């Protein structure tokens, strides 16, 4: 009894850190959305300018050159992972602009689709129908989101409140949903690659510093090309003045969230593509949708989240029981 209560009292502050960390990260997403939609900055240029200080912070904190020298078998996949990370951030930011924060944040859970894929590829036929059911539920949730069920303008569940809206939105459509869903799958792929290279927490952090530096290098030529051919000649000047959106994306959206996710995974056994993580995100999204006065339907969002959560639970059911001892 004492052991259980001690563990609970130890994990409570960690759960608070996890919720606060996710809240400020989601807040940074909303501020980034309002910044990009109002200024029209180049997405590639903006993401690159966020990666530069983030990679410097990670290199200073983790010092990957210190300690035991890293073998090529770890460095090569880590550098490749940098390319995946860079592509993920660009697609995710484009998806954010096309679909709004609520949809872009929920689309990050599309990584659970990898669970279905692995079951199909590696012949674990035990739970294949369960996983296909999970896949169907996730696709249904994304279909409803793309048809605006989480918005007040288009949700069939929103009947009360007839006051006019500041920011009414059109339905997103499945074509635009491809961007954030692809980004969600890439994000999960990056996590899987990082986990395959190293399970040791200290080493994982050292390697992540190399991944972020590698992502910065991958984006550099595209950012330069984008700046030279950029839509506005003063885009470089604009980038030099750090806005709240810029600072919060670097500090909360790139640096802090990595450590928060690490703590959640190591100490709370809370992986990203899990229904428990989705519950935390949905709570944060509801608060920020209200604060930012977005076009938002609470019943619609809750319905989509419940269907998505059920889909994730079914799609990752076998994987979680296999992974959990490893991650612990």
Q: Is the pLDDT of residue 167 over 60?
A: no
Considering the domain boundaries, does residue 23 fall inside one?
yes
Residue 276 domain-assigned (yes or no): yes
Is 327 a domain residue?
no
pLDDT in tens, 40-90: 888 999 999 999 999 999 999 999 988 888 888 899 999 999 999 999 999
Give pTM, 2 decimals: 0.87
| Cα dihedral 61, 64, 67, 73 sign | positive
**Tokens 């930012």 appear where?**
292
What Cα–Cα distance (Å) separates residue 248 from each residue in 69, 82, 116, 242, 303? Answer: 33, 21, 34, 10, 30
Residue 238 placed within a domain: no
The band of 125, judged by pLDDT with boundaries at 50, 70 and 90, is low
Which residues, other chains included, contact 242 with Cβ-Cβ below 8 Å and sequence gap of 6+? none
Terminal alpha carbon distance of the chain: 21
Highest mean pLDDT of the ranges 233-237, 253-257, 321-325: 253-257
Backbone angles phi, psi at 186, to 5 degrees: -65, -40
CB 197 within 8 Å of CB 64: no
Q: For residue 121, what pLDDT is reported?
A: 75
Q: Is pLDDT above 70 for 166?
A: no
| 161 has a pLDDT exceeding 60 | no
Looking at residue 8, its pLDDT comes to: 59
Element (H, E) at 163: none
Q: Is residue 328 part of a domain?
A: no
Q: Which domain holds residue 194?
A: 4-160+172-233+245-321
Residue 106 lies in a domain: yes
Q: What is the pLDDT of residues 191-209, one digit of tens each?
A: 989 988 887 777 889 999 9
Number of domain units in the chain: 1
Cα 305 to Cα 35: distance, rounded to the nearest angstrom: 26
Does the pLDDT value for residue 158 go beyond 90? no
């Amino acid at each position: 009894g004492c052991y259980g209560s001690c563990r609970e009292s130890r994990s409570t502050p960690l759960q608070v850190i996890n919720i606060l960390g996710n809240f400020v990260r989601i807040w940074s997403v909303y501020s980034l959305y309002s910044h990009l939609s109002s200024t029209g900055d180049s997405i590639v240029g903006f993401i690159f300018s966020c990666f530069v200080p983030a990679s410097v912070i990670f290199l200073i904190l983790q010092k990957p050159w210190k300690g035991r020298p890293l073998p090529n078998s770890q460095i090569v996949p880590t550098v490749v992972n940098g390319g995946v990370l860079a592509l993920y951030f660009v697609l995710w930011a484009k998806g954010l602009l096309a679909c709004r924060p609520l949809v872009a944040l929920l689309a990050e859970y599309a990584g659970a689709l990898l669970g279905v894929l692995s079951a199909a590829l590696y012949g674990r036929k035990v739970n294949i129908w369960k996983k296909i059911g999970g896949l169907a539920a996730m696709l249904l949730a994304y279909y409803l989101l793309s048809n605006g069920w989480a918005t007040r303008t288009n949700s069939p569940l929103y009947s009360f409140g007839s006051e006019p809206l500041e920011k009414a939105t059109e339905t997103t459509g499945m074509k635009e949903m491809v961007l954030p869903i692809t980004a969600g799958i890439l994000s999960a792929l990056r996590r899987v690659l990082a986990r395959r290279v190293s399970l040791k927490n200290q080493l994982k952090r050292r390697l992540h510093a190399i991944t972020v530096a590698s992502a910065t290098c991958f984006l550099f030529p595209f950012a330069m090309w984008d700046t030279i051919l950029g839509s506005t000649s003063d885009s470089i000047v604009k980038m030099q003045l750090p806005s709240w959106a810029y600072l919060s994306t670097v500090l909360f959206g790139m640096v802090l969230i990595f450590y928060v996710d690490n703590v959640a995974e190591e100490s709370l056994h809370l992986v990203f593509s899990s229904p428990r993580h989705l519950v935390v995100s949905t709570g944060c999204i509801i608060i920020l949708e209200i604060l930012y006065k977005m076009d938002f339907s609470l019943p619609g969002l809750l319905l989509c989240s419940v269907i998505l959560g059920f889909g994730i639970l079914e799609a990752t059911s076998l994987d979680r029981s296999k992974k959990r001892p490893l991650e612990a």
